[in-house]
Structure 1
């Protein structure tokens, strides 16, 4: 299946996302206006936050793509996390607003008018969101963009609530139970609150430089182990992921008699392998003599340092972690 011709930059994806959000908002507001359903009104209200969040994501991605400068020598990548935190906060506020509408609808029930037209428009908006949410999530994961992933998750959460609303609102004229409209709005508020909390939690973890998943650390260790031939060991490995960039540092122990050129070649080989596998990666390697060996971390050579063969003489058998 051919892929859609998407913009090459994350900022371009955010521009498209903003346009899609406006389309979905128009359809959902029309669904509410033609039906008068509180549940469909709550869904339209939640989509307004999608538009605001898309605009915030566009700003964040525009800032994140700026090159490093004197005031920000490590780049502007964390702007994406700020956008995701703001989006999560907006979602939480929306959940309480929707909850208030649900309570009002329960206390003052009013049967929807022309529900079938409203349901059709809402279903169309749901299909638009489903297609775009899947695209955003896939592209965000591929490009390792927190803002795109958060936006995709938000849009997809809107899809599942849209499906539930179509089913639920369909039952109102069939059963005659008018308060079901308010119940659906209340359930929507709970789901929106859950999504907002998840988005905020993941974004705060990124701002606090939380360690990556164990699988990512295992991948990093495996790459270092496979490309550190000639060194004695690698220890004190630390990493953090900021947006699409991985920051990595560790100590590389080499024989004390090894030349600077040879040690530099080993570092270059490890760095190139890390970037080839992980994309944009900023690596800092602190080279140490064999007297600083800890016999922990990734051990390339277990024998005495003076007996460590030259890199070209070592077989490609891997390292002992």
Structure 2
């Protein structure tokens, strides 16, 4: 079942609305964290504000990238604009990496320079409250982003969701640390927590860099998906001799599937074309954003291109025996 133009328009609007929600949420959190962080003088809260700033920038990039990737193919981009999402993922990862280095550096300087500042109990309460709000807001928005990302196969929205997921964990860490400072008075915990935040962010940036770079260099889709594609093709094994040369790649939310379908030489062009259309329709049911290219080849007795899969050749051998 292929997607219609109306379905595509609905999907694109859903992606834009979800990306816009992330922008609004991150804007509010950035302002709150910076105000409270500087008011208290807490490096861990300021680190979280920097982290959220990167999330905000990532959300803005994701918003424009999903809008651009939704544009139909044109003369200059005959394969569509899907890679705009991959580029946005790479930019987001680099921004997160820079933010992590800034956070860790500032925290280490605080540790080396001594950290004797006392926090006002009243202001400390505001810091704890802001971190709690951040956890709840990011949990809701990241869940929404991830759900829509899975529905629409959008790497930009998925990247944004993972950014917010890391923000949840780091905000929880700062939240717990501020409570410990409140009860113990150990303000040295503040830069230590900030270093922990930076390390978590650094790990997320490295993982996102790997994935974005893999898509930009046309890495094959996961083996599990390729095996499923082979299984779908094999469901019609009795209608052709074999297939070979399966190649896949991802471009943003779109995937490209190419393979050679080997048919018996006496099969007509019309019948071969109908079979290719049938296979393409079956693949689109499971991968609606796929671009499928099937090259028809005549079977040559004794060739080894299809390997042990060549059902037609095996049937011919059995008939001769």
Identify if the C-alpha distance between structure 1 residues 76 and 7 changes in structure 2 by more than 3 Å, giving closer, same or farther.
Answer: closer
Identify if the C-alpha distance between structure 1 residues 298 and 35 changes in structure 2 by more than 3 Å, giving closer, same or farther.
Answer: farther
For residues 280 and 137 of structure 2, the distance between their equivalents in structure 1, rounded to whole angstroms, comes to: 42
- Aligned match of 2:63: 58
- Aligned match of 1:81: 86
Out of 193, 210, 220, the residue aligned to residue 184 of structure 1 is 193
DSSP-derived class of the 1:304 partner: helix
Per-residue CA deviations over 1:157-216 (Å, capped at 9, x if unaligned) read: 000000111001111132221211110111111111111111111000000111121110
- Aligned match of 1:29: 34
Question: Does the CA contact (< 8 Å) of 1:220 and 1:274 recur in 2?
Answer: yes
| Unaligned 5+ runs, structure 2 | 1-9
For residues 251 and 108 of structure 1, the distance between their equivalents in structure 2, rounded to whole angstroms, comes to: 67
For residues 224 and 309 of structure 2, the distance between their equivalents in structure 1, rounded to whole angstroms, comes to: 16
* Correspondence 1:244 to 2:256: no
* Correspondence 1:91 to 2:102: no
Structural mapping, 1:16-165, within 5 Å: 16-106=21-111, 107-109=113-115, 110-113=117-120, 114-165=123-174
Identify if the C-alpha distance between structure 1 residues 212 and 128 changes in structure 2 by more than 3 Å, giving closer, same or farther.
Answer: same
Question: Does the CA contact (< 8 Å) of 1:246 and 1:282 recur in 2?
Answer: yes
Aligned residues: 304
For residues 85 and 249 of structure 1, the distance between their equivalents in structure 2, rounded to whole angstroms, comes to: 26
* Correspondence 1:287 to 2:292: no
For residues 162 and 47 of structure 2, the distance between their equivalents in structure 1, rounded to whole angstroms, comes to: 19
**RMSD (Å), alpha carbons:** 2.1
- Which portions of structure 1, spanning 4 or more consecutive aligned residues, are displaced by more than 4 angstroms? none
Per mean C-alpha deviation after superposition, the further-off stretch among 153-162 and 114-123 is 114-123
Out of 7, 10, 14, the residue aligned to residue 19 of structure 2 is 14
DSSP-derived class of the 1:118 partner: helix
DSSP-derived class of the 1:250 partner: strand
Identify if the C-alpha distance between structure 1 residues 8 and 297 changes in structure 2 by more than 3 Å, giving closer, same or farther.
Answer: farther
Quote the offset at 1:300 in angstroms: 3.8
For residues 260 and 242 of structure 1, the distance between their equivalents in structure 2, rounded to whole angstroms, comes to: 31
Q: TM-score, normalised by structure 2?
A: 0.89
- Aligned match of 1:296: 307
Per mean C-alpha deviation after superposition, the further-off stretch among 135-144 and 88-97 is 135-144
Structure with the largest fraction of helix: 2
Question: Does the CA contact (< 8 Å) of 2:247 and 2:258 recur in 1?
Answer: yes
Out of 190, 196, 207, the residue aligned to residue 198 of structure 1 is 207
For residues 283 and 144 of structure 2, the distance between their equivalents in structure 1, rounded to whole angstroms, comes to: 27
